[in-house]
Amino acid sequence: MRGLGKDLRTGLIAVVAMTIVLGLGYPLAITGLSQVFFHGAANGSLVKFDGKVVGSRLIGQEFKGKAFFHSRPSATEYSGDATFFANVGPNSKEGREEVRENLAAYVRENRPWDKALTKDGVPVDAVTNSASGVDPQISEANAQIQAHRVAGVRGLPLGEVESMVDDAVEGRGLGVFGEPGVNVLELNIALEEKAPLK
């Protein structure tokens, strides 16, 4: 074919040049700039407690026991380095059982401190898997229910814990986009700072 040699030569040069510019120049330049100007954000938005890094503000982690606010259910055991979707289908029998168990467990756990709580009052996010497995937030309704338990166990006035919940609310993007949520790790750190368990 006429001109094939020329296309091959130009193509080879283009492949090499573009790979270097777009595959090294661009990402390394962005890395350099981000490390200088957005150091914390570019390295995972890590947060400290008692001088030690205890997690990322953006990555949910597992909380057990009655004295802490709990994250949403996770199919990945809150993995930050091997993520996958739960892939529970809308008409899945296993999905129905999972929600049923989560629902019963949530009511069982919180009912002793929030007598008014019934199945009907449980917010959806509390008993469904998040997408990432590490959703850092829970809904405000979910946090307000758990506040009863946390306040009771830690011996804090309910009003005080509720206002800590309010402080941990992250609003919508630009006030409009997405939904507000409560950052669980930051809320638990604030609790530990105010009324340490031990």
Interface positions, 33-72, toward other proteins (CB under 8 A): 33-35, 37-38, 41-46, 49, 52-59, 61-65, 68, 72
CA–CA separation, 39 and 21 (whole Å): 24
Residues in 71-90 at the binding interface with other proteins, rule: CB under 8 A: 72, 78-90
For the bound state, the minimum distance from the C-beta of residue 184 to other proteins, rounded and expressed in Å, comes to 10
Interface map 94-133 toward other proteins (x if CB under 8 A): -xxxxxx--x---------------xxxxxxx-xxxxxxx
DSSP state of 75: T
HSE, side-chain direction, 13 A CA sphere, residue 183: 17
* Nearer residue to other proteins within complex by CB, 138 or 161: 138
Helix (H, G, I), strand (E, B) or coil at 37: helix
Distances (CA, A) of 94 to 9, 70, 98: 57, 23, 6
The size of the interface with other proteins (CB under 8 A), counted in residues, is: 112
Give the footprint of other proteins on residues 168-197 (CB under 8 A): 170, 172-174, 176-179, 181, 185, 188-189, 192
Q: What angle do CA 187, 184, 163 make, to 5 degrees?
A: 40
Shortest Cβ distance from residue 152 to other proteins (Å)? Answer: 19
Give me the phi and psi of 89, to 5 degrees please.
Answer: -75, 165
Q: How far is the CB of 76 from other proteins (least distance, A)?
A: 9
Look-up: residue for tokens 């899945």?
Answer: 92
Instruction: Answer whether 121's CB lies under 8 Å from 78's CB.
Output: no
For other proteins, the binding residues in 135-174 under the rule CB under 8 A are 135-144, 170, 172-174
Closest CB to other proteins among residues 65, 157: 65
Closest contact distance (angstroms) between CB of 160 and other proteins is: 18
Name the DSSP class of 187: H
- Among 74, 114, 134, 146, the residue binding other proteins under the rule CB under 8 A is 134
Query: Which one of the spans 23-31, 109-117, 149-157 is the region binding other proteins (CB under 8 A)?
Result: 23-31
Among residues 161, 155, 160, 121, which one has the least CA distance to residue 141? 121
Would you say 55 or 164 has its CB closer to other proteins? 55
Q: How far apart are CA 9 and CA 40, in angstroms?
A: 44
